Amino acid sequence: MSCECAECVEYGGPNPTIMKIRVGAIIGEIAVALYGLVKERSWKALGAFIGSGIFFWTLPRYLICARCENYGKDCYSLYMGKLTSKIWSKKEGEVGKVGMALEAVTLGTFAYAPALGLLKNRKLLVLYSFFLNITLMSQFLHACRHCATYAEGWRADCPSAKTHRMIFGDKRETAV
């Protein structure tokens, strides 16, 4: 797929400034989670956090990114297409619902296990929530917005893209 949206024309893919903000927020989120979970001795939450982070790079990447048309490219989802090409070889076939479901469970665990582990430390919980919300909003308002407007096939049918269209309206017919 050759996208002709303004960002792809101007930057050759996702806006690098927004991507830097997203990466910075994720680094802050991970740092606060690791520090806070060790400080609070919340070993189960720490195990779930680390385990889901590791699992995220295995089967979901193999089932989604290795089969995506953006494999090897700077995609809107944190450059996963380029990163995945360094781990997994390109696979033929469709991106299935199993991959998307595994990614949803994995990312849900990765995002919310630290919040549960930090319930007794309100200051760290607020800081963690701050970084988590930046991460989630930048994903939804950058990557999901892009797919909701410009994507075709399975990416246009992604539950997040559908939710974005439901909230902000369907702009696909007016997109260039």
Q: Is residue 1 part of a domain?
A: no
* 91-100 confidence digits (pLDDT tens): 888 877 888 8
Say how many domains are in the chain. Answer: 1
Q: Is residue 169 part of a domain?
A: yes
Q: Looking at residues 57-79, what average pLDDT do you find? A: 85
Q: Is residue 105 part of a domain?
A: yes
| C-alpha span between 34 and 42 (Å, rounded) | 10
Q: Is residue 133 part of a domain?
A: yes
Q: Is residue 25 part of a domain?
A: yes
Q: Is residue 70 part of a domain?
A: yes
Do 99 and 64 form a contact (C-beta atoms < 8 A)?
yes
Quote the pTM value: 0.82
- C-alpha closest to that of 28 among 116, 137, 139, 131: 131
Number of helices and strands (H, E) in the chain? 9, 0
Domain membership of residue 119 as a residue range: 6-174
Do 126 and 119 form a contact (C-beta atoms < 8 A)?
no
Q: Is residue 12 part of a domain?
A: yes
